[in-house]
Amino acid sequence: MQIKSRDADTSAINRFIYIQQGNILCTTDGIWLHSQASEVTVKWLEQPLFVAELDATNIYMQVIEDEISSGLQAHHGRDMMTLLTEAESDLLARALQLSHWLQDHQFCGRCGRATTLHKVDYGMCCEACRHTQYPRISPCIIVVVTGPKGVLLARNTRFPVGRFSALAGFVEAGESVEAAVHREVKEEVGIDIKNLQYIGSQSWSFPHSLMMGYMAEYKAGEIAVDGVEIDEADWFRPDCLPDLPFRFSIARRLVEIGLAKIAK
């Protein structure tokens, strides 16, 4: 996927993603990149918005009004991403993130008047007070801790039974990313950690996070879950793993690194 300015290559093929209330509209036979722009779209986004280029195809997205057109079905983006290639999954994530931003910034956050899409940039502009609202990106940390008993994974209260993942949380205002890693692990499972290692990042569009992935080592403490965000947490070894996050997620990548580390 190539992210460029909003100027699409006019010689390339165009495809359109229809998004409705955070869901992707697909045909009954599973097509989600539509060959035609939808005529049913919202007033504050009258033209399809260029998302990115994928395999020499210009991908646009449209936010669709409430009624589902006949022959289309709504699918949750997170479910769809598990079925796509990594490049398609990244593309869908960007389209969803842009749709959340557009829906949440129809009005100026400073003076309350209606906004319009900037002619060139990804920005929602207020003509009255000149305030421009760009796509919101919220930094988050995500971390897998390794220790003598295995890799530390947790079950978020929103996860289905049996699904475990890395620990994660938002970076607070005025906080460094490293301090957020220590704080989140301590708050959620009561463990002290050491030797942080940055691994990589991933945009996560539910709704607008930028996940920064770390590995860490156990330092001290016993597992004590907070009961608010985390229901269960435990140390896992490769021969006894729970249901893990999907294959292209940064969470899964960190879990795999952790498992390889304890196997040495």
13 binds Zn ion (CB under 5 A): no
> Scanning residues 242 to 261, which ones bind Zn ion (CB under 5 A)?
none
The alpha-carbon radius of gyration of the chain (Å, integer) is 21
Span from 18-26, 98-106, 129-137, 188-196 in contact with Zn ion (CB under 5 A): 129-137
Instruction: Confirm if 252 and 246 have CB atoms less than 8 A apart.
Output: yes
76 binds Zn ion (CB under 5 A): no
Instruction: Confirm if 16 and 37 have CB atoms less than 8 A apart.
Output: yes
Nearer to Zn ion, 131 or 252 (CB): 131
Pairwise CA distance, residues 49 & 18, whole Å: 11
Query: Tokens representing 28?
Result: 């009954």
127 binds Zn ion (CB under 5 A): no
The closest alpha carbon to 154, from 143, 164, 139, belongs to 164
Q: Rounded to 5 degrees, what are φ and ψ at 162?
A: 95, -15
Of the residues 78, 118, 131, 252, which one makes contact with Zn ion according to CB under 5 A: 131
Q: How far is the CB of 138 from Zn ion (least distance, A)?
A: 22
125 binds Zn ion (CB under 5 A): no
129 binds Zn ion (CB under 5 A): yes
Q: How far is the CB of 116 from Zn ion (least distance, A)?
A: 11
26 binds Zn ion (CB under 5 A): no
Instruction: Confirm if 205 and 137 have CB atoms less than 8 A apart.
Output: no
Site string for Zn ion, 181-200 (x = CB under 5 A): --------------------
Instruction: Confirm if 251 and 142 have CB atoms less than 8 A apart.
Output: yes
User: At which residue do the structure tokens 């990313």 appear?
Assistant: 177
124 binds Zn ion (CB under 5 A): no
118 binds Zn ion (CB under 5 A): no
- The shares of helix, strand and coil residues in the chain, as percent rounded to the nearest 5, are 20, 35, 45
Site string for Zn ion, 94-113 (x = CB under 5 A): --------------x-xx--
Binding site for Zn ion (CB under 5 A): 108, 110-111, 126, 128-129, 131
